[in-house]
Amino acid sequence: MTERPRDEIWDALEERFGPVPSPSGRGLRNAAVRELREANATPEQIGIAFVWCQKSFGDTFFTEMAVAKYFGRALFEWSKPVESSLSVVRRMAEDG
């Protein structure tokens, strides 16, 4: 019997959320995998979205579907340049 090829998106979610022990859990993960695949997500981008969810939701529990739901927003916000505190203070001083 031939072994199925690895699914990088499933693996990226499993790395962050752990294994899925139940059929309903597999269904939810499959839904997230499907959405992320439609978004052409890479494992690296999934990692970015996961970290964004951690920072955005804090101690609140979130699931794979949150990563899928906020995937585009996470990448957009992650890609925006961040202004350093020092440059903000300098700009404020210059503006008077």
In a domain, 3, yes or no: no
In a domain, 46, yes or no: yes
pLDDT score for 67: 97
Instruction: Yes or no: say if 65 and 28 are a contact pair by the CB < 8 Å rule.
Output: yes
Q: What is the DSSP letter of 84?
A: P
pLDDT band at residue 3 under the 50/70/90 scheme: confident
In a domain, 42, yes or no: yes
Domain limits at 26?
8-95
In a domain, 79, yes or no: yes
In a domain, 1, yes or no: no
Helices and strands in the chain: count of H runs, count of E runs: 6, 0
Task: Convert the pLDDT of each residue in 33-64 to its tens digit.
Answer: 999 999 999 999 999 999 999 999 988 889 99
Half-sphere exposure of 95 (CA within 13 A, CB side): 6
In a domain, 2, yes or no: no
Q: How many domains does the chain have?
A: 1
